[in-house]
Each structure stands twice: as structure tokens, then as C-alpha cells.
Amino acid sequence: RQGLAGGLILTGVALGIALSGTLVPFTLGWGVRETWLILGGLAVVLTALSWNGWPTVAPVKSDMRQPGPVLALKSLYLEYGLNAVGLVSHMVFWVIFIAQGLGLGLAVGAFHWVLFGIGAVLGPVTAGYLADRLGFLATLRAGYLLQAAAAGILVFTDHMAVLVISSLIMGAFVPVCTTLVLGRLRELIPNDPDGQTAGWRWATIGFAGGQAVGAYGLSYLFDLYGEYRLLFAVGAAALVLALMLNILAGRKSSKENP
């Protein structure tokens, strides 16, 4: 039940998303600076409450070696970075796209951010449950495809039903992508805690790099063209590329290790 357990752990991220979407519309009336201070204060309180939850056991010491099947792992790290790029358009631009780009106002934008958080709450447990039954590889590939569809469809329509579905799906995969990639990593490096720790460090570097490149790159594109739909198209393309890399790496690994 590794997938289910991983999903439960990551619901905390989702609850934070939903909470921020609920609080921000009320606090913005006091000012943007005050809103940031309130969110920061809340983060401090939650950190203090959870402080004793940190493990007391010393962390496993591990180098940054490349364990396990190298091709599949390198592909997974790159895919994780591309998934981060695919999520940036929603994580950074979603509310402002709805509020200003579509002219629906901040209240509607905040509503969709709450939906984003609800998706993030329900997604990890659901995806973990499926991964335990279908396997992490199949669930990961389905996740890339579903995210690409949820981002790409916005290029063609902004119907309210589409916005709702896109909010839920992309919100779900903010934590779900971590659940699935971590589970897949453990499949590729079984029974090797040190190797898994080293592999997860590389994966985290890949995701952080994807977030940085995505945030700066999409901001630059928006500054040049002022078109939100272009951002969703780029995000969808990144997710399609992640899926293609995963399939190609899987086929090549199968040929090398029949």
C-alpha cells in the first residue's frame, strides 16, 4: 500500500492550497502586504505545531551516485522536471487568467483556486490507490496524458465546465506527480534505501529546475505576447514530451534488459 501511504502524506500540501484559496479573498481587503504577512504568520504557526513531528532518527547518509537502471532513471528525472513546467501555468497564472484574462473577477478566480486545492486533497490518495493496483508506471503515464489534456484544452475553450475540470485535475497533480514519481523511483531501485535517497535527490533537483525554468520562461513569454493560452499550450507540450520520453526510455530499457 505504498502508493496510498504516499498519497496520504502529501494531502498536507493540498490542504494548504485549499486554505490559502479560502483566506486570500478575505484578507486582500486589508492590502497585499497584509495578506502576505497573514499567510507567513499562519505558516509559522503551523510549523511550530508540527515541529515535534520531525523524525528523531539520523538521516541516511548517501552520495549523489547514479543507482539502478541509468537510462530509465535519467528519463524519470527529466520527466519530473517537464511535469513541473507543465504545472507552472496553473500554479502561477491560473487565478489571474480567470480573474483578469477572462474578466470573471477575483472572487471567481479564488473559487477556482479552492477547487485547485480540493483536487490536490483528493488526488494523492486516489492516484496512490490506483498505483497500488495498476503499477506506478502505468499510472504515471496516464497522469502525463490527463494533465496534458487538462492544460491543452484551454487553448481551444474557456467554458466554465472546462475551467472546473482543469482546476481539479491540475490541482490534483501538484502533489500526485510527486507520489507517482517517488513510487516509480522505488520500483526502479528496489531494496536499496541509500540508492533511493540519492535518486530522490536527483529527482528533486529536476523538479526544482523545471519549476524555475517554467516560471521564468512562461513569464517571459507572457511579457512578449500577453497571451495566456500560449502558456497552457507550452505546459501541455511539456507534459506530452514527458510521456514520450517515458515510453521511449521504457522501450529502450526493455531491449537492453530483455
175: amino acid identity, one letter: P
End-to-end Cα separation, the chain, in angstroms: 28
Distance CA 121, CA 171 (A): 8
Mean pLDDT, 10 residues at a time, the chain of 258 residues: 72 77 81 92 91 74 59 94 96 94 90 89 88 93 97 96 96 91 91 87 94 95 94 97 93 62
According to DSSP, residue 191 is labeled: T
Q: Residue with C-alpha cell 486582500?
A: 28
pTM for the model: 0.83
